[in-house]
Amino acid sequence: MAKSHGKPHHPQSQGSVERANGDIKDTLLTWLADSNSQDWSVGIKFVQFQKNAAHHSGIKCFPYSAMSGCEARVGLTSSSLPTEVGSSWESEDDLIADHQEQIQKRRVEAYRGQVSQAERMVKRSCLGFEVGEPGDNVAVPNPAVDRGREDPRNILGVIVSRDLDNDQYKIAVKSGVLKGQYSRN
């Protein structure tokens, strides 16, 4: 829909805005009656599409194409999907099932990517840093969100124990044992 700018609470000075509002109201009421619905929030989308896809004599084209540079499309037949993609669909349920299948495939791909990335990180960590033993001094990074302007970037700590199964370390600092476990890096 076209945006109209005018003064609030002065409808008498905004004849074209009031006429447009009246047209929208009449079209919406017609849509509600034709579709036997009371849900105007759904109907207003159809009215908006109808207004934007109708040829406008003032601008000599469709409002939608003037704003977007292409014709308005609705439905699968006017979409840019390849015809072989939609040819197997017989109902909306088929479309939804296909969409769910695509989502599942992307999630599996994303999971595999995360696992691969984690494996690379562990491998890099093991190659670049020596194995620590209890009693070794280590520098523990102090996260930027937790440190003040004058606080150090690292805190000196001592390895208290090492979990051999997952190569994780328990570290103690001056104020006590840190929560959680840390990797070599």
Total tally of structural domains belonging to the chain? 3
State residue 145's pLDDT score. Answer: 79
Claim to verify: residue 37 and residue 60 sit in the same structural domain: yes
Q: Which residue range is the domain that position 140 belongs to? A: 131-177
Is 70 within the bounds of a domain?
A: yes
Claim to verify: residue 68 and residue 123 sit in the same structural domain: no
Is 45 within the bounds of a domain?
A: yes
Q: What is the pTM of this model?
A: 0.35
Claim to verify: residue 111 and residue 122 sit in the same structural domain: yes
Between residues 105 and 58, which one has the greater pLDDT?
A: 105
| Residue 76 banded pLDDT, cuts 50, 70, 90 | low
Gap between the Cα atoms of 105 and 110, Å rounded? 9
